[in-house]
Structure 1
Amino acid sequence: MHSFLFFIGLAVICISCGREREPLKNKKKNEVETIEVLGALPRFVTDPPGNKSTPEKVRLGKLLFFDPILSGNKDVSCATCHQPEFNYAEFLETSIGVNGRGTGSKRQFSEQNDIPFVKRNSQSILNTAFNGIKNGESYHAESAPMFWDLRAKGLEEQALVPVRTLEEMRGHTYPEDKVIDEIVARIRKIPAYESLFREAFTDDKDPVNVVNLSKAIASYERTLIANNSRFDQYMRGDSSALTTGEKEGLNLFLKTGCAKCHSGPMLSDYKLHTLGVPDSQNREETDAGANNDYAFRTPSLRNLRYTGPYMHSGKFTTLEQVLQFYEDIAGGKIPNPNIKPAQIDTLATNMDVNFRDISRIVEFLNALNDDNFDKSVPESVPSGLPVTGL
């Protein structure tokens, strides 16, 4: 009798377990991406139809990029937050723009300060000439997606947005709708710039203008490319370009679901995704993104070695921390209290990142680095101001 009851009980337990596991059996598994969703970067840059590159434009754009003359208080340049030694990014969680002094980790606000930190982490300008590029599709440089929230298209439009932004380059001295006119007026008064603009834009009677200003900076930025990493060489057919460990990391990168968003030659789909990344504590207000849904653009994974900290808020200092974050998200942990579980992108919650795989994936990510790019800084700029800024 006891044996009979034991077997009946065992049968009930087995049936119950079977019912609990049934949804798992019927659960559709995520399709694993293949290496074909990735790609090597083009060997050459595509210019937009209205701004063909010339050496004269590039030369002018480089000087403007490093010249504080573009800022409201003449104390900060584009290069302040996009430094060559950091792959044209910056080693700060979020940047100190206007009213700051020093570079890198030593940069700080002046003692008398009412300017906030820059809202988001400074992304690298390297390879922005390829922003938005997709496998098998025509590339249009004039519509390339820019910024963490996609608020600009093309490098020409992107170039002057920081100049208009209070905490980045404008400051309190000039209103947003007047600062560009002030910058152009300053440049017109500098004979060296007047000459450089005439050399770069020979068809214009009055070449020093806002359109040409943006064209020159964009032309320089399109020269900042790093398109021959060992990963690029591997994708172009050199099977020996990656180590065994890097190949294993590549396979894990695909298997875990990373490539569902980090795809194409730039390893970014350039779409907005809500992930639950914690806010930076440098600003009092929470950063809800462009659409108030906490969605931000997928960043490129190229040249990550020197472009940390990572994510839009700069809250992760290492790639290992980034991958651990994705492991936590898949496990239901959301570090940003402003975001509900239902808001998190399912591409993130369905990822399968495990701690044991992280080191191999990081090993692969390091194969995306290419250190062969222009890191030179002008010895001086036409305004006579300190190169890069204070």
Structure 2
Amino acid sequence: MKPLTLFFLSFLGVLAVLACGRQEAQSTQKKEKKPIETLAVLGALPQYVTDPPDNPSSPFKVTLGRLLFYDPILSGNRDVACATCHQPEFNYAEFLETSIGVNGLGSGSKRRFKVPNDIPFVKRNSQSILNAAFNGIQNQGTYRPELAPMFWDLRAKGLEAQALLPIRTLEEMRGHGYAEETILDEVLARIRSIAEYEMLFTEAFAGEPKPINATNVAKALAAYERTLVANNSRFDQYLRGDSAALSTSEKEGLQLFLKAGCAKCHAGPMLSDYQLHTLGVPDSPNNREPDAGIRNDYAFRTPTLRNLRYSAPYMHSGKFATLEQVLQFYEDLSGGKIVNPHVRPDQMDPLVKELKVNFRDISRIVEFLGTLNDDNFDKTVPDRVPSGLKVRGNVE
């Protein structure tokens, strides 16, 4: 065979190898490419709430829980109620970056510390209690409310376990006057001294010889909080079969939400996977030290996307005042930018690499998020509380 022919055949062989290599690489890329989530990963909220087996709801229990929720008798200085930082007009959250609990005065953006003050800000943004009855719910499986994940760091399970922790926390409700180990005994002694509360606990927990105890305070608060639901948004109506519940542009925003990868974490009926993720969210300047979270890796729970219209500012640090700012943050993330200087690249959640948020899509995604709002929830505030203290504490 002639040398020229051998050279030509060798050249063809090299081309064939290169072509095969390219095809194999393209095939591998196709295999590695993650599928875009579909509408099926989301879900409508249930129309009814599930109670834990050991705390079935009753009208007496809910009435008692509402009064306790608004009564500052639960705080060390008698100046803070649960409703001080979880206000009906703000979706049972609060319009502050991070909350002011003990030694505070005023409401909403006007709340401030009294002077002098030696109480720190509450560490994280006040999460909404609305729909907390559905925390952790997913599309498949049986929902167990006693295992519902609570707080930004998942340190409690179930509304009953969550209810008492703010009472024990220095900056939220306890203050300097009582130790963490003794504050509940003090609160219970106060409640037992009020005849009206004695009657209300007896009605709510009939048959118990000594119904005023810490467990029943938690059960009453949780029973009331499970009545605070907003489960008939236009998005819920759309998923239940009303195709006209969303406009054409809102449906486009929904598709862009899915295409951008938002549903990789914001899935299920509450649009949250209830997992901890490190995203490099900027810290609040209200904290004296960086907030590294419960695992010391700056990971925080995926928040629900429901009723966002009423619960600004956003993220665990409350650093973003608008949804547009939140999505711009995610656009920066998808471009590889880490905003928090304390977070290392190796700490970032791998799912960040799958985000594809584009600036041109932000307005339509925000339009879709608006369909998750439902203003039809209980905003009833009692005219008085059994202690005779100011309803909601020092908010005026």
| TM-score range relative to shorter protein | over 0.9
Q: CA deviation at 1:203?
A: 1.6
> Percent identity of the aligned residues?
71
**Which residue pairs with 2:225 in the alignment?**
221
Offset at residue 349 of structure 1 (A): 2.5
Q: TM-score, normalised by structure 2?
A: 0.92
Q: Distance in 2 between matches of 1:302 and 1:348?
A: 22
Secondary structure, counterpart of 1:356 in structure 2: helix
1:142-180, Cα deviation, whole Å (9 max, x unpaired) = 010000000000000000110000000000000001101
Task: Select the residue among 146, 151, 166 that pairs with 2:150.
Answer: 146
Query: Contact 1:332/1:341 (CA < 8 Å) preserved in 2?
Result: no
- Which residue type is aligned with residue 315 of structure 1? K
How many angstroms does 1:26 deviate by? 4.9
Q: 1:350 aligns with which of 354, 360, 366?
A: 354
Matched letter for residue 37 of structure 1: V
Match of 2:99? Answer: 95
The answer to whether structure 1 residue 276 and structure 2 residue 267 are counterparts is no
Q: 2:388 is aligned with what amino acid?
A: G
| In 1, Cα distance between equivalents of 2:218 and 2:169 | 15
SS of 1:296's equivalent in the other structure is strand
CA deviation vs aligned residue, 1:325-365 (integer Å, no higher than 9, x gap): 11101111111001111211121232000000000000000
Q: Deviations over 1:260-308 (max 9, x none)?
A: 0000000000000000000000011000000001100000000000101
Q: Distance in 1 between matches of 2:353 and 2:320?
A: 19
The runs of at least 4 aligned residues of structure 1 exceeding 4 Å deviation read: 22-26
Correspondence for 1:49? 53
Where does residue 203 of structure 1 map in the other structure?
207
How many aligned positions are there? 373
Amino acid at match of 2:150: M
Task: Decide which of 320, 330, 333 is 1:329's aligned counterpart.
Answer: 333
Q: Give the distance between the partners of 1:323 and 1:334, measured in 2 at CA.
A: 14
Normalised to the residue count of structure 1, the TM-score between the two structures is 0.94
Q: Distance in 2 between matches of 1:66 and 1:278?
A: 32
The verdict on how the C-alpha distance between 1:23 and 1:72 changes in structure 2, with shifts beyond 3 A counting, is farther
Looking at structure 1, the residues matched to 325 and 353 of structure 2 have their Cα atoms a distance apart, in angstroms, of 17
Q: Give yes or no for the alignment of 1:161 onto 2:165.
A: yes
Inter-partner Cα distance in structure 1 for 2:369 and 2:148:
24
3-state SS, counterpart of residue 277 of structure 2 = strand
Match of 1:260 in 2: 264
- What amino acid sits opposite 1:46 in the alignment? T
Alpha-carbon distance, 1:24 to partner? 8.2
How far is the alpha carbon of 1:23 from its aligned partner?
Answer: 7.2
> Are 2:380 and 1:366 aligned?
no
Once the two structures are TM-superposed, the CA of residue 368 in structure 1 deviates from its matched residue by 0.1
| Pair 1:303 & 2:293 matched | no
2:117 alignment partner in structure 1: 113
SS in structure 1 at match of 2:300:
strand
Based on CA coordinates, which of the two structures has the bigger radius of gyration? Answer: 2
- 2:318 maps to what in 1? 314
Give the aligned partner of residue 380 of structure 2: 376
- Using the alignment, how far apart are the partners of 2:49 and 2:155 within structure 1? 23
Q: Distance in 1 between matches of 2:140 and 2:334?
A: 31
RMSD (Å) for aligned C-alpha atoms: 1.6
- SS of 1:301's partner is coil
Secondary structure of 2:312's counterpart equals coil
Asked whether 1:188 is paired with 2:195, we answer no
